[in-house]
């Protein structure tokens, strides 16, 4: 419940921030490096931009990256895992060996290598994170399909002439989504961390678009005199990732009857 509350509050703030009427890119040199106060609750940066406004707009970027990247990874993982688990034999062997090969590459360095050849735009980042994060979902779905494909309700569906596609997506997949939901929730936290790390390194979301990662790298230059430029974006990352991790663990506990008691 704590995780759900954190996620809900962050989502509402991110969606409602345009109602504040503040421009996250508005420069006010006269107000530069102001400490937290009434006019600017979280202070201002080296260009006089309001840190709170930029954090909230950065939340929109982080949530968008998290949802889209995890959505891409989940769709790919479900399709490949379902095919491997349902058909087995050569399809299972081929797809799982491909998963093993993908897992041999350090994901973050693979992302860095791909981005080096592309423009560091937010859409490229979302697609790349999604295309390099589906392996865990595929293995989860495969394991569930292997245990479900011989159940009585699947045999009954085959007996009445249901095709493979209908059996996979209508009968087996709905019963295999519990671990996928947990994995997707935790995956959002991972995608947010990855995007923040890429932006911190300067190859993610590019200024002046506010992102928690590029706010951290900007604040690092004035950490001794303007601590709020780094501390508050860092806390935003910490609290958001913690919220998704708590929510994922809570969903797992709620959906797994073996954990009761």
Q: What is the pLDDT of residues 153-197, one digit of tens each?
A: 888 888 888 888 888 888 888 888 888 888 899 899 999 998 888
The count of domains in the chain is 1
What DSSP designation does 112 have? H
105 within domain boundaries: yes
**Measured distance CA(233)–CA(223) in Å, rounded:** 13
**Measured distance CA(155)–CA(141) in Å, rounded:** 19
**Measured distance CA(203)–CA(206) in Å, rounded:** 7
Write down the pLDDT at residue 244: 92
The ranges of the chain with pLDDT < 70 are: 256-261
Write down the pLDDT at residue 202: 82
**Measured distance CA(170)–CA(7) in Å, rounded:** 30
**Measured distance CA(62)–CA(149) in Å, rounded:** 38
User: How many CA within 13 A on the CB side of residue 206?
Assistant: 6
CATH number for the domain including 64? 1.10.3720.10
210 within domain boundaries: yes
8 within domain boundaries: no
Write down the pLDDT at residue 261: 46
- In the chain, how long is the greatest CA-to-CA distance? 77
CA distances in angstroms from 236 to 52, 56, 225, listed in the order given? 10, 9, 20
**Neighbour-count burial of 220, counting CB atoms closer than 10 A to its CB (0-12 exposed, 13-18 middle, 19+ buried):** exposed
15 within domain boundaries: no
185 within domain boundaries: yes
38 within domain boundaries: no
- Residue 44 phi, psi dihedral angles, 5° rounding: -125, 165
Write down the pLDDT at residue 108: 82
**Measured distance CA(36)–CA(108) in Å, rounded:** 35
Angle at 223 between CA 239 and CA 66, to 5 degrees: 30
**Measured distance CA(182)–CA(256) in Å, rounded:** 10
27 within domain boundaries: no
35 within domain boundaries: no
Q: What is the domain range of residue 217?
A: 51-259
**Measured distance CA(65)–CA(133) in Å, rounded:** 13
What percent of the residues of the chain are helix, what percent strand, and what percent coil, each to the nearest 5?
75, 0, 25
CA distances in angstroms from 229 to 32, 57, 239, listed in the order given? 11, 15, 16
Cα Rg of the chain (Å, integer): 22
Write down the pLDDT at residue 102: 87
**Neighbour-count burial of 21, counting CB atoms closer than 10 A to its CB (0-12 exposed, 13-18 middle, 19+ buried):** exposed
- Tell me the two tokens of residue 144: 């569930």
């Amino acid at each position: 419940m704590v995780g759900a509350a954190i996620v809900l509050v962050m989502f509402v703030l991110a969606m409602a921030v345009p109602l504040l009427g503040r421009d996250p890119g508005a420069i006010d040199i006269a107000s530069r490096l102001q400490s937290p106060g009434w006019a600017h609750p979280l202070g201002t940066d080296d260009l006089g931009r309001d840190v709170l406004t930029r954090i909230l707009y950065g939340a929109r970027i982080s949530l968008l990256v998290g949802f889209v990247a995890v959505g891409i990874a989940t769709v790919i993982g479900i399709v490949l895992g379902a095919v491997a688990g349902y058909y087995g034999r050569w399809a299972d062997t081929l797809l799982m060996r491909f998963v093993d090969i993908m897992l041999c590459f350090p994901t973050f360095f693979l992302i860095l290598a791909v981005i080096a050849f592309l423009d560091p735009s937010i859409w490229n980042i979302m697609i790349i994170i999604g295309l390099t994060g589906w392996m865990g979902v595929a293995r989860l779905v495969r394991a569930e399909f292997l245990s479900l494909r011989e159940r009585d309700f699947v045999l009954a569906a085959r007996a009445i002439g249901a095709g493979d596609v209908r059996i996979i997506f209508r009968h087996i997949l709905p019963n295999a989504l519990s671990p996928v939901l947990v994995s997707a929730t935790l995956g959002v936290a991972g995608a947010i961390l990855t995007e923040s790390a890429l932006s911190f390194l300067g190859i993610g979301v590019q200024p002046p678009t506010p992102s928690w990662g590029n706010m951290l790298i900007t604040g690092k230059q004035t950490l001794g005199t303007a601590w709020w430029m780094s501390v508050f974006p860092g806390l935003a990352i910490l609290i958001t990732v913690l919220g998704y991790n708590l929510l994922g663990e809570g969903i797992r506990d709620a959906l797994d009857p073996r954990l009761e008691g």
